[in-house]
Amino acid sequence: MCGIVGYVGKKQAVPFLLSGLKRLEYRGYDSAGIAVVSGAEVFQRKTKGKIHDLVQLIGTRPLPEATVGIAHTRWATHGAPNDINAHPHASCDKKFMVVHNGIIENYLKLKEALLRQGHRFVSQTDTEVLAHLIEKYYRGNLEKAVIRALQDVEGSFALGVVSSLEPGKVVCARQDSPLIAADGPEGLFIASDVPAILEHCRRVVYLKDKQVAVLCGRTLTVLGSNGKKIPVKFDKITMDAESARKGGYPHFMLKEIYEQPQVLRKLFSSGRREIKSLMCPRDIKQIVVVACGTAYHAGLVGKYVIESLARLPVWVDLSSEFRYRHPLVDRRTLVIAVSQSGETADTLAAVREAKKNGARIVSICNVVGSSLTRESDQIFYTLAGPEIGVASTKAYTAQLGVFYMLGLELALRRKKMTETSYRQAWKSLLRIPALQEEVLRSRSQIQRVASRHHHFGSFLFLGRNINYPSALEGALKLKEISYIPAEGYAAGEMKHGPIALIDEYRAVVCIAVQSKIYDKMISNIQEIRARSGRIIAIATKGDHHIRLHTPEVIYTPKTDEFLSPLLVALPLQILAYDIAVFRGCNVDQPRNLAKSVTVE
């Protein structure tokens, strides 16, 4: 969601802060702002719009030289996106400035109390309450005022604070929202995520819930919620700066689509050994997958894989629903939590609910040191590297890769598969990256299809069996980045509603790869054709029969139907990407979306 950057050092703060915000654009935002401390004042600039709008504002209203500051990109939750509601927010006396990511759940109650005490508010946000609380409790020590203010707060937060009363200092804190502090040769930094500080630091502290960090001079201090010092534990940043750049591609999303074969090669190479360490209850009775968005679709494929191979019942729940329905999990349940960022608020809440009932937690995650990894009994990293594009691509297929490895391992342990079958299955899995490269080499074919369909007003995606989740994911990708209404359905459900919408103005993407239910998919295609629907088929290379039903065919290489989601994902991603580009959409930063959904 929102992005936070802070700097304390000897160099000019503004360039560091603006470049950090630029690297957090993938988180999604509608306004941006900055505050720096110079002399005995805090100077602020903020605006609705993009970071370049903030840069232009600073160009017309320059900030003074300053070596301490905080900056923010806002994704609106309380109050409309406008200049007033943009962060930073100030106290009455303008001596305290706050940037914040999260939701203050009791802000109305706090605001009413502060108004009665004479405080004046100018915005509609929940964040402004924090600045006034810190002002109220300040007694000569900024970090103590922050700690005391947070005792009144209910909700989630990551925040950064500066004050003209202590001009050389940035104080930050977190609760259920990601925040890091880092040390580099040019100074000390805080940020919502590693890419913001990647070019300046190689040592980072992943702050835990209820921790407060104080950056002053060259000293980074971490405090508990009681104000007592906690030993600072630095982790080495393993991510390289180049991985967070476009590398010659027009968009991060396209770059990340093309990185998928190498991601899977790396994952299968190291993961084959890692998966052997899977800690699973001996008397396991069920697996429950909790996830949101694209990760949820990966979980649905995982259900097919694990149930088919290991013959274990698997339930897949949306994290946002799981915690509210009194889930039936216990110590004999393995809960698999899936999240690219490891900071998805609903998934973290679902994990905590499952832990209360004694379930073992295994997470599939891409970000080292994230909140989810700290909540889990065991972690399987997807090793996909930074995924900057808001629409997930390489993280999705990497999540699928982990599910295939888990399915094979559980099948072997439960004696549902012989050693010979296990080795043969792994051979087939290891061929997937090369087959993905074959798909990528045919991008021009997909571009031509996109050029003929980008004007359609709505899309329907149909799949069967293990590719029903692929249809859901294809629809999600298209609507995310092109803003075209799109639905994913199990093809067998077409006559139970969606068929009413089919006419010459609706495009229908049919996943018709070779499988045991291929003929049923052809029947669906014939029904669509009879109603003048525009059919785009995703088929297996060598299938000439499909062209009798539609001229618009995107071919994928031959592989077992069971592994086909790892291939089908790529043409669906490319189709969505190219349609969005033809429509002039901002592919990497689609409107209203955030890469990491850190509030419920």
Active site residues: 2, 595
How many whole angstroms separate alpha carbon 194 and alpha carbon 201?
9
Torsion, CA 306, CA 310, CA 316, CA 322, rounded to 10: -140
Q: Which amino acid is at 378?
A: Q
How many whole angstroms separate alpha carbon 391 and alpha carbon 17?
25
Contact between 328 and 353 under an 8 Å Cβ cutoff? The reply is no
Contact between 302 and 334 under an 8 Å Cβ cutoff? The reply is no
> Residue 155: how many CA atoms within 13 Å on its side-chain side?
25
For 20-147, where are the E strands, in sequence order? Answer: 31-38, 41-48, 68-74, 89-90, 96-104
Contact between 532 and 431 under an 8 Å Cβ cutoff? The reply is no
Closest CA to 537 of 492, 574, 507: 507
140, with CB counted inside 10 A (0-12, 13-18, 19+), is exposed
How many whole angstroms separate alpha carbon 319 and alpha carbon 599?
12
CA 417 to chain centre: 35
Query: SS3 breakdown of the chain: % helix, strand, coil, rounded to 5?
Result: 40, 25, 35
How many whole angstroms separate alpha carbon 31 and alpha carbon 79?
12
Continuous H helices in 42-141: 51-60, 107-116, 128-137
Q: Which residues contact 417 (CB under 8 A, 6 or more apart)?
A: 309, 408, 411, 425
Provide the token pair at 466.
Answer: 């293990």
422, with CB counted inside 10 A (0-12, 13-18, 19+), is middle
How many whole angstroms separate alpha carbon 143 and alpha carbon 141?
6
Residue 213 main-chain phi, psi, to 5 deg: -115, 140
